[in-house]
Amino acid sequence: MPIAITQDPVASVGLAQPPAQPLRAARPSKRKRTADATPTLAVPEQPRPAAAESKPSLRVPFLRPSPPRLSELTEGLVAIEASGVFSNYGPMNCRLEEGVLTRIFKSPGECLTVCNATIGLMLAIKQAVGWQPRGRYALMPSFTFAATAHAALWCGLTPLLCDIDPDTWLPDADAEQAMIERHGDAIAVILPNATFGNCLDLARYDRISTAHGIPVVIDAAASLGSVGADGRAFGAGCAHPLVFSMHATKSFATAEAGLIYSADAGRIATLRMMGNFGFGEPRTATMPGLNSKLGEVSALLGLAKLDEFERITLHRQAIYALYRQLLPEFEFQHLTGARTAHQFVPVLLPANLAGRVPEVVAALAEQGIGAGRYFVPHLAEQSFFQASCIVDALPATIATSRRILSLPLSDSITPADIDLVCSAMRRACRKVADAQAHTPRPMVLST
């Protein structure tokens, strides 16, 4: 499976602190949702220590990254030392790729580890569009993380930012179609984001790709563990590359890592060479390349996570269902799959509090509850992307961004924590609504 190793092993690996992630979002929902069957609530036996990112003063921090404990991986670390292989698709990487393929995707195809999803996206986009792309645009939603746009820009493409569906928060099918009709051959690649682990309609992207000859690369950063409506792992059997993140803040938490899956084994073989400096022959570049390889210590973390991943995913799913049960008056994402790998719990504030998210977040913090604002500001609101992207009309993105915030979720969070968070959420919204009601409206003087 892996190609011959032609580069010297990497000697050391540093595990960085998880970087701060962006936050914020959107608008009113058209439909109520039902997906995500509720499994039983399983509280992990061993609560994890709070990570550096968690503020100690918070009773319930927003995220509590839980990579496997390095101190419990001595045996694997000794094995790495004994093997003398520290990178370059070594034994731990091979086991991780094989393990994810057989235990998560359970489908034909191949997996390729990468050092993070951002580099994975760059690699997959470059492979999809070729060295000299036929077009200059990368079609993507504005409601995504900076990495999606950065990856396209690094490939020399200009992001075309389109709107999202107001309910699923996935790229809006009509908006995408309109962009394809308007820009035609100038679109080099379509880069949909499976927002917050929600399942994209991959068959639709297949049809678009076939009809228009445009390659598709799926940004599935938060989707490892999500299951489609057909009961298969999200992406299973899909020939377009799907890029997943295994960052410490994701539910498949390591430190920094990512993975590309495709049902097209030939595509993965090419990506593997591209990720190793484009070496198609020993130490000879035969194609565009960079270094996207995952070190063996990081792969060991991935292997340990794989062992506990099903239990973690079920726990997170049960907690998510509890939130929805305890906050019936709030609007949640319309989930399209049979299961979502929840990273946190995004929710819309009531319409009368649109634009008041910062005050609600502050009111939650006063009660010891952490909250996040993911994908806010959305891409078209960020100065670098304003200067480097083309922006379509974004009514749903703007409306969603004005109301979205994300509530806490972690591997060790308990139902009692969720009670606290939900009560605090109600108090926070009431406080901000009361303050709003008592704020005198500016007087308009007519002349």
Positions that interact with ligand PLP (CB under 6 A): 21, 116-118, 144-145, 147-148, 193, 219, 221-222, 245, 247, 258
Of 246 and 348, the one with the shorter C-beta distance to ligand PLP is 246
Of 125 and 214, the one with the shorter C-beta distance to ligand PLP is 125
DSSP sequence for 61-129? -SB---PPPGGG-HHHHHHHHHHT--SSS-HHHHHHHHHHIIIII-SSSEEEEES-HHHHHHHHHHHHH
Q: How far is the CB of 246 from ligand PLP (least distance, A)?
A: 7
Q: How far is the CB of 297 from ligand PLP (least distance, A)?
A: 17
Q: How far is the CB of 374 from ligand PLP (least distance, A)?
A: 7
**Residues 399, 402: Cα–Cα separation, whole Å:** 5
Q: How far is the CB of 219 from ligand PLP (least distance, A)?
A: 5
Of 141 and 428, the one with the shorter C-beta distance to ligand PLP is 141
Q: How far is the CB of 105 from ligand PLP (least distance, A)?
A: 19
**Residues 380, 133: Cα–Cα separation, whole Å:** 24
H helices within 184-264, ranges in order? 202-212
Using an 8 Å Cβ cutoff, are 408 and 345 in contact?
yes
**Residues 335, 200: Cα–Cα separation, whole Å:** 10
Of 148 and 270, the one with the shorter C-beta distance to ligand PLP is 148
Q: How far is the CB of 121 from ligand PLP (least distance, A)?
A: 6
Using an 8 Å Cβ cutoff, are 332 and 31 in contact?
no
Of 119 and 354, the one with the shorter C-beta distance to ligand PLP is 119
**Residues 334, 314: Cα–Cα separation, whole Å:** 19
List strand residue ranges (DSSP E) for 117-264, in order.
137-141, 158-162, 187-190, 218-219, 242-245, 258-262
Of 166 and 258, the one with the shorter C-beta distance to ligand PLP is 258
Using an 8 Å Cβ cutoff, are 254 and 68 in contact?
yes
